[in-house]
């Protein structure tokens, strides 16, 4: 193996040699540059490999033939090897993307580039503090040069601002170094480490402070980093990639090396600066519109988080390198990838990234990078986030946990908003300038990201998320994108069925119900997807399969880690799926933000529960210590209720479900919502009743369930848009289920499970039928429809059967649900919420009635005379649902008996008696078959009677303006079916007030205002930036003095 020293030698030698060449020999010069960078990467890579997989042991490289501290030495261990490999690889790839610019500026620019990479390696390897300074100065000067290799004329000013700031830094660093040398009689880091620098207000300690703060400023901490952000914004994206992934990485490692000189007293300072940077920078990024500046803010934030980890190293212990490294590596790969990608986008506007849609593989890369930065599985950042939050929670530093998760949420907001815009903005014409090499570099980087995810997972003590079979299967789908959609659709159905068949023997009854809905139910919905299976339908199958993979992993997860990983996977899969709708961008964003917020609550809950135990089995939630068990319960419940769209956390649902594609709506409504219910089930089964400050949390849940049922139903009744109506109705339905779970008795749970099954069936069926109608009529506004019964009879039947089932009237399965439900509430003494939930029952009739009445009955619109029945592939699953609804109505025991017995294991009281076709509770009995017969007879009788009376019907005009004094501006206001329930609105309209929308709207508005205000600090004046840097030094020092014990 070649000594890592030769990385420096090759870099420097090549730089000097390239300088020799003529300006005309730029191709040769570029070839030499690339060859040198490749050689450096190769040497570094071979050492990284040797340390990670070959069991190499750390070693020291002496220079000048004298031992340290008298001569400079380099130290090489696993972290150094990995970081050097990372820096070299980023350098190599950046050079590739900068080819045109480098050749235009000539051999001198290439020499500077080589020196920059070499110096980064030097910073990482050297064990000498003054040598560190020399390499930092090299970086500063090289940056000053490389910033200029840009098409942006503003880069000159940016470079100067950067130089001014680095002058201040180098003054502080030099003064610090010389006095620390005087105090320790050494310049060697290993020699100086040991924390013997003296009390924090002594001269040597202050000198160390200057050295330390100078290194921290190299990390561009918020809010004194305007000079760095300007560089990010105006430099060539290839250089920005190196600046973000390379410079910051090296500087972080330098901080980690140097902080030991001061020892433990300085760690909190690093942690605090890092945290402020992470949260503050992400907050300000919320109001950014320039892509590269946004990436700059994000870089700063990520580096801040790693600085926090360094500051917490006494807490996290040996694993701090793994945690910090996980965040750092993820950040470096993703940020470099995004900067390179920005080189392919001509517009600096976020929406300008839509141009990438011309090449779907670049969208795949974009999505990969966004997921990496957002800390989603299976990338290292995910493992790091998990471990970090656990370590903090175990130590009781909950404020840290909250701040970190808040910052991460801000970051998710702007990243996903950006991604959504790129996906949904109008497609611009293709960039003429888009380079193939850069494209290849980006794709290679994305693939490297996945490979790193795999490697990291394999080494993680928590297990490899990527190795989960469902995820592997889902990840195979992007590789199959070249297949026609029909083939992929068939494959998807087969895979889901196969998954059920394989999993079936291992499921307990609860998993069985959820598993059947996810896998079999999912497969049935996929039948409808044949309707849309034209062409290749790029992006649909990977997203859908990702969601199903997450759901499957969720129900089989044995421990908190795999549960949480599954939760994140299903969230991101469903986000991509929802985003596919035409108008769904803002709704998909609000979905993913609520979901990630919920996920963070879950993460915090799990971390609080686990303390130091890892892995932490879900069943062990039973044994959580009593003092924080209620908090665990609260956090988890809030997390799960974001997914069930419970009151207060529901505002994402209507838009997301209504605007989704026709076959996606049932997936995200019928199937996805059940993830939240599964979580709640898991929670109450393991943790039971919990009270916090004397308030029983399940009782609060009861209220939330009842409130959701009421508000969901009221809102549904006032909708004009049929899909929105269905979406609001889901909020109500989930409210019932949450209520049932919160009842904490046998029948309550049974009823919730019944809702799980029923809601899947009738909501999927309704979304498909309404989707079919909307497809044929070209509108979702109900008052524009009418009289479709004759043209779309099968859709009508499906809707009719579904709403009967849903309304809970006999004879269909909804009645069974109601029956169990009434029995269940008779078992408890929660009277008040019970009244609320009773109230919401009749309201459901209002909106269900409209589905039949306004859409299918009444007069046909002229423009709909030629409408034909819905496409056959939409009808097939609907008919299956109809058959199933009838069957489930007759024989509910088939599914529920075993579940009842299973629940009985958790509950003291008795469940139901299942004897033949009769079901008996403590309060009465229910024979589904007898009811079906009775209702059938009544129905037929009434139907015949109505037929007999039909000739008396009288035709009226629909847009009847006979009573209006003037021509209305909005003709629909005169339609009898518009604002159908106006009288009710007058009565209970207060319930339909968008209180929660206003609340969340005000919250986001306030955040953006704060961000807009804070960023005024970035005046753009280089002198002000320098002033801020000096002020930062002074203020941090004052705070440190004030805080000393």
Partner 1 sequence: MITISLFTGFLLVLAGLYGALTNRNILRMIVSFTIADAGVNLVLIAVGAMPGRKAPILDAAVPVAEAARRIIDPLPQALVLTAIVIGLGVTALMLAYAYRLHASRGSLDISKFTELKW
Partner 2 sequence: MVKRATALLLMVALGLLFATIAFDHRPDTELNRTALYYAENTAKDIGAQNIVTAIVVTYRGLDTLGEVTVLFLTAAIVGLILAAGRPGERGSFPPSGELLHTGSRLLAPLILLAGVYVFVNGHLTPGGGFQGGAILASAALLLLLTDPLHRFGNRLIRLVESLSGVAYVVAGLFGLVLAGGFLDNRFLPLGEFGALFSAGGIPVIYTLIGLKVGAEFASMLSSLSRTEKH
C-beta of residue 1044 within 8 angstroms of C-beta of residue 200: yes
Give the closest residue to 891 by CA, choosing from 883, 903, 901, 880: 883
Planar angle of CA 561, 548, 444, nearest 5 degrees: 80
- Is-contact 788 796, C-beta < 8 A? yes
CB of 680 to partner 2, least distance (A): 55
Compute how many residues bind partner 2; rule: CB under 8 A.
Answer: 63
Residue 226 binding partner 1, by CB under 8 A:
yes
Per-residue binding string, partner 2, 578-607, x by CB under 8 A, is ------------------------------
Q: By CB under 8 A, is residue 20 in contact with partner 2?
A: yes
Q: Which of 71, 440, 447, 832 binds partner 2 (CB under 8 A)?
A: 71
- The CB-of-1014 to partner 2 minimum distance in angstroms stands at 19
Residue from the set 374, 388, 1015, 1036 that interacts with partner 1 by CB under 8 A:
1015
**Under rule CB under 8 A, residue 158 binds partner 1:** yes
Answer whether 608's CB lies under 8 Å from 616's CB. no
Runs of H (alpha helix) within 649-690: 653-659, 664-666, 673-687
Q: CB of 50: closest distance to partner 2 in angstroms?
A: 20
> Which residue number, 105 or 815, has a Cβ lying nearer to partner 2?
105
d(CA 509, CA 521): 16
158 binds, among partner 1, partner 2, none (CB under 5 to 8 A by kind): partner 1
137 binds partner 1 (CB under 8 A): yes
- Residue placing its CB nearer to partner 2 in the complex, 172 or 601: 172
Task: Based on the shown chain and the rule CB under 8 A, indicate whether residue 105 belongs to the binding site for partner 2.
Answer: yes
Binding partner of residue 66 among partner 1, partner 2, none, CB under 5 to 8 Å per kind?
partner 2
712 binds, among partner 2, partner 1, none (CB under 5 to 8 A by kind): none
What does 898 bind: partner 1, partner 2, none (CB cut-off 5 to 8 Å by kind)?
none
Cα angle value 195/199/201 (rounded, 5°): 130
Q: Does residue 438 touch partner 2 according to CB under 8 A?
A: no
Query: Which residues 6+ apart lie within 8 Å of 487 measured at CB?
Result: none
Minimum Å gap between C-beta 1034 and partner 1 is 11
Task: Name which of partner 2, partner 1, none residue 944 binds, using a CB cut-off of 5 to 8 Å depending on partner kind.
Answer: none
The structure tokens 């900068």 sit at 98
- Residue reference for tokens 């002033």: 1027
Contacts 24+ apart (CB under 8 A), 1034-1041: 1036/213, 1036/269, 1036/273, 1037/206, 1037/209, 1037/213, 1040/200, 1040/209, 1040/269, 1041/200, 1041/201
Rounded CA gap, 34 and 502, in Å?
A: 51
Number of neighbouring beta carbons within 10 Å of residue 666: 29
Q: Is 346 exposed, middle or buried (0-12, 13-18, 19+ CB in 10 A)?
A: middle
How far is it, in rounded angstroms, from Cα 295 to Cα 285? 9
Which span sits near partner 2 by CB under 8 A: 55-63, 233-241, 251-259, 615-623? 55-63
Task: Give me the sheet containing 913-915, strands edge to edge.
Answer: 913-915, 918-920, 925-926
Question: Which of the ranges 424-432, 657-665, 896-904, 1020-1028 carries the binding residues for partner 1, by CB under 8 A?
Answer: 1020-1028
Contact between 220 and partner 1 per CB under 8 A = no
* Contacts (CB under 8 A) with partner 2, residues 164-223: 175, 179, 182, 185-187, 201-204, 206-207, 210
Q: Is 144 in the site for partner 2 (CB under 8 A)?
A: yes
In the list partner 1, partner 2, none, the entry touching 69 (Cβ below 5 to 8 angstroms by class) is: partner 2
Whether 342 and 294 have beta carbons less than 8 Å apart is answered as no
When the beta carbons of 630 and 1022 are compared against partner 1, the nearer one is 1022
170 touches, from partner 2, partner 1, none (C-beta below 5 to 8 Å by class): partner 1
Residue 745 touches which of partner 1, partner 2, none (CB < 5 to 8 A by kind)? Answer: none
Residue 35's nearest CA partner among 79, 86, 116, 91 is: 91
* Under rule CB under 8 A, residue 1027 binds partner 2: yes
Asked if the peptide bond before residue 92 counts as cis, ω within 30 degrees of 0, the response is no
| Tokens 């269940």 -> residue | 824
User: Using CB distances below 5 to 8 A depending on partner kind, what does residue 966 bind out of partner 2, partner 1, none?
Assistant: none
Q: How near is the Cβ of 1028 to partner 2 at its closest, in Å? A: 10
- Count CA atoms within 13 Å of residue 989 on its CB side: 8
Nearest of 827, 975, 1007, 991 to residue 910 by alpha carbon = 827
CA-to-CA dists, residue 444 to 288, 295, 358, 968, angstroms: 28, 20, 18, 60
Residue identified by tokens 């965040």 is 327
By CB under 8 A, the residues from 71 to 130 that bind partner 1 are: 130
Q: How far is the CB of 155 from partner 1 (least distance, A)?
A: 9
Is 959 one of the binding residues for partner 2 (CB under 8 A)?
no
Q: What is the CA radius of gyration of the chain?
A: 32
Q: Which of 202, 612, 960, 1023 binds partner 1 (CB under 8 A)?
A: 1023
Say which entry of partner 1, partner 2, none residue 174 contacts (CB below 5 to 8 A, set by partner kind).
Answer: partner 1
Q: Does 268 bind partner 2 (CB under 8 A)?
A: no
Site for partner 1 in 159-198 (CB under 8 A): 159-161, 163-164, 166-168, 170-171, 174-175, 177-179, 181-182, 187
Any residues with CB less than 8 A from the CB of 787 and at least 6 apart, and which? 856, 857, 858, 859, 860, 861, 864
Min dist CB 243 to partner 1, Å, is 15
Indicate which of partner 2, partner 1, none lies near residue 206 (CB less than 5 to 8 Å, by partner kind): partner 2
Strand residues in 762-812 grouped as ranges (E)? none
Q: Which residues contact 3 (CB under 8 A, 6 or more apart)?
A: 61
874 binds, among partner 2, partner 1, none (CB under 5 to 8 A by kind): none
The least distance separating partner 2 from the CB of residue 106, rounded to whole angstroms, comes to 8
Is 140 one of the binding residues for partner 1 (CB under 8 A)? yes
| Least distance (Å) between residue 194 CB and partner 2 | 14
Rounded Cα–Cα distance for residues 830 and 649 (Å): 23
**CA 397, CA 403: separation in Å to the nearest integer?**
10
137 is an interface residue for partner 2 by CB under 8 A: yes
419's contact among partner 2, partner 1, none, with CB below 5 to 8 A by partner kind, is none
The bridge status of strand 691-692 relative to strand 695-696 is: antiparallel
Q: Which does 230 bind (CB under 5 to 8 A by kind): partner 1, partner 2, none?
A: partner 1
Count the site residues for partner 1 by CB under 8 A: 46
Query: Residue 25 burial (CB < 10 Å; 0-12/13-18/19+)?
Result: middle
Q: What DSSP assignment string belongs to 1017-1043?
A: G--S-HHHHHHHHHHHHHHHHHHHHHH
326 makes contact, choosing from partner 2, partner 1, none, with CB < 5 to 8 Å by partner type, with: none
Least distance to partner 2, CB of residue 80, Å: 16
* 134 is a site residue for partner 2 (CB under 8 A): yes
Residues in the site for partner 2, rule: CB under 8 A?
5, 9, 12-13, 15-17, 19-20, 61-66, 69-72, 105-106, 108-109, 111-112, 115, 119, 122, 126, 128, 130-131, 134-135, 137-138, 141-142, 144-145, 148, 175, 179, 182, 185-187, 201-204, 206-207, 210, 1023-1024, 1027, 1030-1031, 1033-1034, 1037-1038
Residues in the site for partner 1, rule: CB under 8 A?
130, 134, 137, 140-141, 144-145, 153-154, 156-161, 163-164, 166-168, 170-171, 174-175, 177-179, 181-182, 187, 226, 229-230, 233-234, 1015-1016, 1018-1023, 1026-1027, 1030
């Amino acid at each position: 193996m070649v000594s890592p020293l030769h990385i420096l030698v090759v870099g420097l030698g090549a730089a000097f040699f390239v300088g020799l060449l003529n300006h005309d020999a730029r191709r040769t010069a570029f070839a030499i540059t690339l060859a040198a960078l490749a050689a450096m990467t190769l040497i570094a890579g071979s050492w990284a490999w040797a340390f990670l997989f070959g069991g190499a042991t750390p070693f020291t490289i002496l220079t000048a033939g004298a031992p340290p501290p008298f001569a400079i030495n380099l130290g090489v261990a696993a972290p150094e090897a990995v970081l050097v490999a990372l820096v070299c690889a980023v350098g190599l790839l950046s050079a590739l993307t900068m080819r045109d610019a480098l050749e235009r500026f000539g051999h001198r620019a290439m020499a500077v580039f080589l020196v920059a990479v070499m110096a980064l390696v030097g910073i990482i390897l050297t064990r000498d503090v003054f040598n560190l300074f020399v390499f930092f100065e090299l970086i500063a000067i090289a940056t000053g040069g490389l910033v200029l290799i840009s098409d942006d004329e503003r880069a000159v000013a940016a470079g100067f601002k950067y130089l001014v700031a680095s002058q201040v830094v180098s003054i502080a660093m030099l003064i610090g170094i010389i006095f620390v040398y005087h105090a320790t009689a050494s310049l060697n880091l290993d020699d100086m480490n040991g924390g013997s620098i003296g009390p924090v207000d002594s001269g040597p300690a202050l000198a160390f402070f200057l050295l330390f703060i100078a290194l921290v400023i190299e990390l561009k901490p918020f809010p004194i980093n305007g000079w760095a952000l300007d560089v990010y914004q105006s430099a060539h994206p290839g250089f920005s990639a190196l600046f973000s992934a390379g410079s910051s990485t090296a500087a972080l490692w330098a901080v980690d090396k140097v902080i030991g000189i001061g020892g433990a007293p300085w760690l909190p300072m690093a942690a605090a600066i890092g945290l402020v940077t992470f949260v503050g920078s992400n907050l300000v990024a919320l109001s950014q519109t320039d892509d590269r500046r946004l990436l700059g803010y994000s870089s700063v934030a990520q580096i801040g988080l790693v600085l926090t980890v360094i500051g917490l190293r006494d807490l996290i212990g040996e694993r701090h390198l793994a945690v910090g490294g996980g965040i750092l590596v993820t950040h470096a790969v993703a940020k470099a990838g995004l900067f390179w990608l920005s080189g392919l986008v001509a517009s600096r506007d976020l929406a300008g990234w839509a141009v990438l849609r011309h090449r779907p593989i670049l969208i795949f890369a974009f999505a990969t990078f966004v997921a990496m930065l957002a800390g989603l599985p299976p990338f290292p950042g995910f493992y790091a986030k998990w471990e970090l939050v656990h370590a903090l929670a175990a130590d009781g530093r909950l404020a840290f946990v909250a701040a970190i998760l808040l910052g991460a949420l801000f970051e998710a907001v702007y990243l996903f908003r950006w991604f959504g815009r790129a996906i949904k903005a109008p497609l611009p014409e293709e960039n003429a300038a888009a380079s193939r090499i850069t494209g290849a570099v980006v794709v290679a980087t994305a693939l490297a990201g996945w490979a790193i995810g795999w490697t990291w997972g394999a080494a993680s003590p928590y297990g490899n998320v990527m190795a989960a079979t469902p995820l592997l299967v889902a990840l195979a789908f992007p590789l199959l994108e070249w297949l026609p959609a029909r083939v992929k659709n068939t494959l998807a159905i087969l895979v889901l069925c196969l998954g059920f068949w394989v999993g079936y023997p291992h499921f307990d009854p609860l998993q069985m119900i959820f598993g059947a809905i996810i896998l079999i139910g999912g497969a049935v919905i996929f039948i409808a997807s044949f309707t849309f299976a034209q062409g290749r339908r790029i992006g649909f199958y990977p997203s859908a399969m990702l969601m199903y993979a997450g759901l499957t992993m969720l129900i089989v997860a044995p421990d908190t880690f795999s549960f949480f990983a599954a939760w994140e996977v299903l969230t991101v899969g469903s986000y991509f799926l929802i985003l596919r709708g035409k108008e769904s961008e803002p709704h998909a964003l609000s979905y993913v933000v609520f979901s990630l917020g919920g996920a963070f609550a879950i993460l915090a809950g799990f971390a609080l529960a686990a303390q130091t135990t890892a892995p932490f089995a879900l069943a062990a939630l039973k044994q959580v210590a009593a003092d924080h068990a209620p908090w665990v319960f609260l956090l988890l419940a809030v997390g799960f209720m974001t997914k069930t769209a419970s009151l207060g956390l529901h505002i994402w649902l209507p838009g997301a479900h209504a605007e989704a594609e026709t076959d996606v709506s049932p997936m995200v409504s019928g199937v996805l919502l059940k993830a939240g219910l599964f979580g709640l089930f898991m929670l109450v089964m393991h943790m039971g009743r919990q009270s916090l400050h004397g308030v029983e949390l399940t009782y609060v849940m009861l209220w939330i369930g009842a409130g959701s049922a009421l508000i969901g139903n009221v809102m549904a009744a006032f909708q004009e848009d049929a899909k929105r109506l269905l979406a609001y109705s889901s909020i109500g339905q989930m409210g019932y289920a949450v209520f049932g779970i919160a009842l904490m008795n046998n029948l309550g749970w049974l009823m919730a499970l019944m809702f799980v099954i029923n809601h899947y069936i009738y909501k999927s069926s309704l979304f498909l039928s309404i989707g079919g109608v909307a497809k044929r009529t070209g509108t979702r506004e109900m008052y524009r429809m009418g009289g479709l019964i004759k043209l779309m009879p099968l859709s009508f039947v499906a809707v009719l059967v579904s709403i009967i089932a849903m309304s809970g009237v006999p004879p269909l399965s909804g009645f069974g649900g109601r029956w169990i439900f009434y029995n269940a509430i008779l078992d408890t003494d929660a009277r008040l919420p019970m009244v609320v939930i009773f109230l919401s029952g009749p309201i459901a009739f209002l909106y269900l009635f409209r589905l039949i009445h306004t859409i299918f009955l009444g007069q046909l619109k002229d423009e709909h005379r030629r409408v034909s029945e819905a496409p056959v592939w939409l009808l097939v699953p609907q008919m299956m649902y109809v058959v199933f609804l009838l069957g489930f109505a007759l024989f509910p025991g088939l599914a529920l008996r075993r579940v009842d017995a299973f629940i009985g294991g958790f509950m003291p009281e008795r469940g139901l008696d299942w004897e033949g076709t009769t079901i008996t509770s403590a309060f009465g009995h229910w024979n589904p078959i007898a009811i079906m017969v009775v209702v059938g007879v009544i129905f037929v009788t009434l139907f015949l009677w109505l037929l007999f009376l039909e000739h008396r019907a009288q035709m009226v005009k629909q847009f009847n303006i006979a009573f209006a004094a003037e021509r209305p501006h909005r003709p629909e206001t005169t339609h009898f079916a518009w604002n159908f329930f106006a009288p009710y609105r007058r009565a209970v309209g207060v319930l339909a007030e968008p209180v929660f929308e206003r609340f969340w709207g005000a919250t986001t508005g306030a955040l953006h205002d704060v961000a807009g205000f804070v960023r005024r600090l970035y005046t753009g004046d280089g002198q002000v930036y320098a002033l801020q840097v000096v002020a930062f030094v002074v203020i941090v020092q004052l705070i440190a003095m004030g805080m000393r014990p």
